């Protein structure tokens, strides 16, 4: 035996109500991941009795979240089951991605993670309160774009975001200690979940990408560089939400100067604008540059991969930069620099969700927070 998964210390009291919610989530989770099933199937997989499952399913059907789908085609002995499945469009989610520097984009997403409508607003240099106002507008306009009830609003924001959904620090938008979650929730009258964009990205990838059960690290490359991690099935926050701040780890003490005042941060070689500039320089050997950057990235990530037993490393950002010599070099160096036990199960790839990772991940924030599903 060994203490696995469970936090070392108990947190807070546990009501019967919590048990009920937990079991509700258990069923929703099953339907979410494995698709329609009969009540009896749900009872078998969840370990609950058929009675309890029927009761819970009845409740969910009453709410419209789950719908009866009739009997399956194949005929077996006994009474044919009635399949029930998640009603993906019974409720919609509003998801926002604030990580671009020129616009805020958002979408209406259904419970299956499919984008139903899109909308965006240009930032036009808005900062501070103006930028908050812009977020409010974007959210409201998206809510108006669906006729379904809205389960909640999920936001992937740049910068450091704490567990309460307050943006501690986001230089681009000039936000410091901005209680985005609270103000949005108040204005909209809906549950709002805010997290760092790299964190929502890793959630999106974890839930809707082709990922396994091992540790997952998503490296987001854009204006800056950030990472999000899912370890042991949980999102890693760090003490003040500062986990994943890999962009300003030094990769070369003698490297270029960085905006943070130090030298040779990962961002100085990997952030998209910097890297593009370097590739556009006269006489630059594209493959050589990308390989060199990939190698440095690999050397930086190797200790992380080895220490955390990461199984999947996903590069998210401009594919034309990331998915070629850069990825290959990073992959190779990580394998060279970690023991086979660690690297054997490792996959290094680019995101299958493309530019929507953050958006879809923001929806996962809501799915997870409201339904306990991911």
Positions 60 through 99 that interact with DNA (CB under 7 A): 71, 75-82
The Cα 306–Cα 175 span in angstroms is 35
Q: Which is nearer to its own copies, 69 or 249 (CB)?
A: 249
- For DNA, how many residues bind (rule: CB under 7 A)? 30
Max CA pair span of the chain: 75
Shortest Å distance, C-beta 35 to DNA = 15
Residue 13 within binding range of its own copies, rule CB under 8 A: yes
Near DNA in 19-58, by CB under 7 A: 19-20, 23, 38-41, 47-52, 54-56, 58
Residue 270 partner contact from DNA, its own copies, none using kind-dependent CB cut-offs of 5 to 8 Å: none
Task: Give, to the nearest 10 degrees, the angle between helix 39-46 and helix 16-34.
Answer: 110
CB 302 within 8 A of CB 337: yes
- The alpha-helical segments, DSSP class H, found in the chain are 16-34, 39-46, 50-63, 128-144, 180-188, 197-208, 266-270, 272-280, 286-308, 319-322, 325-337, 340-344, 357-366
Shortest Å distance, C-beta 80 to DNA = 5
Contact window for its own copies (CB under 8 A) among 128-136, 171-179, 275-283, 365-373: 365-373
Q: Which one among 103, 136, 278, 337 touches its own copies, defined by CB under 8 A?
A: 337
Residue 78 partner contact from DNA, its own copies, none using kind-dependent CB cut-offs of 5 to 8 Å: DNA
Residue 280 partner contact from DNA, its own copies, none using kind-dependent CB cut-offs of 5 to 8 Å: none
Region of 373 (left: φ > 0; alpha: ψ -120 to 50; beta: rest) is beta
Q: What is the DSSP string of 91-130?
A: SEEEEEE--SSSEEEEEEEETTS-EEEEEEEE-TT--HHH
Residue 223 within binding range of its own copies, rule CB under 8 A: no
Contact window for its own copies (CB under 8 A) among 9-17, 113-121, 133-141, 349-357: 9-17
- Positions touching DNA (CB under 7 A) are 13, 15-17, 19-20, 23, 38-41, 47-52, 54-56, 58, 71, 75-82
């Amino acid at each position: 035996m060994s203490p696995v998964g469970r936090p070392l210390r108990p947190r807070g009291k546990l009501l019967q109500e919590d048990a009920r919610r937990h079991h509700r989530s258990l069923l929703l989770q099953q339907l979410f991941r494995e698709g329609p099933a009969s009540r009896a199937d749900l009872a078998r997989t969840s370990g609950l009795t058929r009675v309890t499952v029927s009761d819970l399913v009845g409740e969910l059907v009453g709410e419209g979240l789950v719908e009866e789908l009739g009997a399956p085609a194949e005929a077996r002995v006994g009474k044919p089951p009635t399949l029930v499945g998640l009603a993906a469009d019974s409720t919609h989610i509003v998801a926002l991605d604030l990580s671009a520097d020129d616009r805020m984009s958002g979408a209406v997403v259904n419970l299956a993670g499919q984008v139903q409508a899109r909308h965006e607003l240009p930032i036009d240099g808005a900062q501070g309160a103006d930028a908050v106002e812009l977020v409010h507008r974007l959210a409201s306009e998206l809510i108006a774009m669906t006729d379904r009830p809205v389960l909640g609003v999920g936001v992937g924001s740049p910068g450091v975001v704490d567990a309460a959904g307050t943006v501690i620090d986001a230089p681009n938008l000039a936000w410091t200690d901005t209680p985005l979650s609270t103000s949005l929730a108040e204005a909209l009258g809906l549950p709002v979940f805010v997290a760092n964009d790299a964190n929502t990205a890793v959630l999106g990838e974890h839930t809707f990408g082709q990922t396994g059960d091992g540790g997952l690290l998503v490296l987001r490359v854009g204006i800056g560089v950030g990472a999000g991690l899912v370890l042991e099935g949980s999102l890693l926050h760090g003490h003040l939400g500062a986990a994943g701040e890999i962009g300003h780890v030094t990769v070369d003490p003698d490297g270029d100067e960085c905006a943070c005042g130090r030298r040779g941060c990962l961002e100085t070689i990997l952030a998209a604008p910097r890297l593009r500039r370097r590739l556009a320089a006269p006489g630059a050997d594209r493959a050589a540059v990308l390989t060199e950057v990939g190698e440095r990235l690999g050397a930086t990530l190797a200790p992380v991969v080895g220490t955390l037993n990461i199984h999947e490393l996903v590069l998210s950002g401009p594919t034309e930069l990331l998915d070629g010599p850069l990825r290959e070099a990073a992959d190779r160096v990580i394998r060279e620099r970690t023991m086979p036990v660690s690297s054997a199960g490792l996959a290094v790839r680019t995101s299958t969700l493309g530019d929507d990772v953050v958006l879809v991940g923001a929806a996962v924030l809501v799915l997870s927070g409201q339904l306990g599903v991911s």
